[in-house]
Homo-oligomer: A and B are copies of this chain.
Amino acid sequence: MKSCGVIVEYNPFHNGHLYHLEQAKKTTNCDVLIAVMSGNFLQRGEPALFDKWTRAEMALNHGADLVVELPVQFSVQSADYFAKGGVALLQALKCDSLCFGSEEGTGTDFKRLANQVEEKRVVIDEAFQNFKNNGSSYPVQMNQAIKSVFPTHSIDLMQPNNMLGFSYAKEIIKAQSSMEIKTVKRHLAQFHDESIEEKTIASATAIRKELFNPSDSFKEIQKVVPEDVFQFISTTEYVDWENYWELLKYRLTTMSLSDLRGIYQVNEGLEFRLKEKVKEAFAFNEFIQLIKSKRLTWVKIQRLFCYILLNLTKVEMAEKVKQVEAIRVLGFTKKGQEYLKIKKKQLEIPLLTNINQKNQHLVELDIRAGLVYQMGKIDQKINQDYRRYPIRKK
């Protein structure tokens, strides 16, 4: 069975995602579509609007055949680790190809550039030193360094999807994987577009904005998501960071400076600033404004807050991002199930379809993330991990 993988978040699932899945199927002519999906906390350092089970179901309803969870230590990360976790899971599942959206460039273009960069790593690292202190963000600086070594390369790495795609390509090259790359040209909506206009594809950012600030045009969302997703969105409780603000404030208030220093990404005396400012903040957005600086962007701070909220320490993160330890299945169609049956014997890491005393250590951080995630919801009794089994779709 020929398989194609996608690395996704679906927060929430919309027509652009649908287009991506359709194109992935078409362009690779695969039998089975595998989605590696972030769990309950996402790349931008946010709790997902809807939990991983809900979002897995949306994916299965619209073309995915198998949904596995990208562990939290890879999902709440910048492009490099996000790509590392995503690609590693697809590899672990013996996936034949990876398909992602890009602003430009073919799979071959991405692979070529990744190869070149990998070969000239030392030179690029040297070049990077020249841009290191120019005040730009890391991706901008890295793009400048690459451009200075390969002035004519064909992919604009300043475009967010290109950048993420390039990270995937690098991981594939590093792993000496035979996985093919296919790209789908980004269609209509730009990645971070903030308003929904007269079209049927909008970014998830625009949809979330509409959801959080429902204007007269709340129904605009209806045009840009599948009908079943719209029904769900408009009738279901969703969560955002404000739901976790109390817990974050409580932890920061009661945590010692040295424990705070032990949290992943709390560096350079940031612990003092966090402890000091939390006293003055009485809402999440208020707090983030107090912490924001030129170097600490909104997204970086949100990720940092996830690490604090989930008590993810430097020690455990260093250990847990070394490699993916298991394949956590969230759901499958009949075809997805068949695929797993065929590949089962070749898998080199455990395939988890339920969580129990024996295997819980493999998804320890996701269990913790699920328990905290559920605390922001009305019905706290719903389990995210124990006693949950893969969703089955025809």
Residues of A within 8 A of B (CB): 246-247, 249-251, 253-256, 259, 279, 282, 309-311, 313, 368, 371-372, 375, 380-381, 386
Contact indicator A311/B247 (Cβ below 8 Å): no
**Known A246-B246, A279-B371: A310·B381 in contact at CB below 8 Å:** no
Cα A386 to Cα B276 with chains together (Å): 13
Contact indicator A282/B381 (Cβ below 8 Å): yes
Contact indicator A246/B375 (Cβ below 8 Å): yes
Of chain B, the residue at the smallest CB distance from A315 is B256
Residues from chain B with a CB closer than 8 A to the CB of A247 are 246-247, 250
Residues from chain B with a CB closer than 8 A to the CB of A251 are 250-251, 254
Residues from chain B with a CB closer than 8 A to the CB of A253 are 368, 371-372, 375
Contact indicator B282/A375 (Cβ below 8 Å): no
Cα A175 to Cα B372 with chains together (Å): 48
Q: State how many angstroms separate the Cβ of A260 from the closest Cβ of chain B.
A: 11
Of chain B, the residue at the smallest CB distance from A379 is B282
Of chain B, the residue at the smallest CB distance from A370 is B253
Cα A247 to Cα B381 with chains together (Å): 16
Q: State how many angstroms separate the Cβ of A227 from the closest Cβ of chain B.
A: 35
**Known A282-B380, A371-B279: A311·B256 in contact at CB below 8 Å:** yes
Q: State how many angstroms separate the Cβ of A361 from the closest Cβ of chain B.
A: 12
Q: State how many angstroms separate the Cβ of A376 from the closest Cβ of chain B.
A: 10
Residues from chain B with a CB closer than 8 A to the CB of A375 are 246, 249-250, 253
Cα A250 to Cα B375 with chains together (Å): 8
Residues from chain B with a CB closer than 8 A to the CB of A254 are 251, 309-311, 368, 371-372
Cα A313 to Cα B254 with chains together (Å): 11
Q: List 21 A-B contacts (CB under 8 A).
A: A246-B246, A246-B247, A246-B375, A247-B247, A247-B250, A249-B375, A250-B250, A250-B372, A251-B251, A251-B254, A253-B368, A253-B371, A254-B310, A254-B311, A254-B368, A254-B372, A256-B311, A256-B313, A259-B259, A282-B380, A282-B381
Residues from chain B with a CB closer than 8 A to the CB of A313 are 256
Interface centre among A251, A253, A259 (most CB of B within 10 A): A253
Cα A381 to Cα B286 with chains together (Å): 13
Residues from chain B with a CB closer than 8 A to the CB of A256 are 311, 313
Residues from chain B with a CB closer than 8 A to the CB of A380 are 282
Residues from chain B with a CB closer than 8 A to the CB of A386 are 279
Residues from chain B with a CB closer than 8 A to the CB of A368 are 253-254
Residues from chain B with a CB closer than 8 A to the CB of A249 are 375
Of chain B, the residue at the smallest CB distance from A278 is B371
Supply 12 further A-B pairs (C-beta < 8 A) apart from A250-B375, A253-B372, A254-B310.
A246-B246, A246-B247, A246-B375, A249-B375, A251-B254, A253-B368, A253-B375, A254-B372, A255-B311, A256-B311, A279-B371, A279-B386
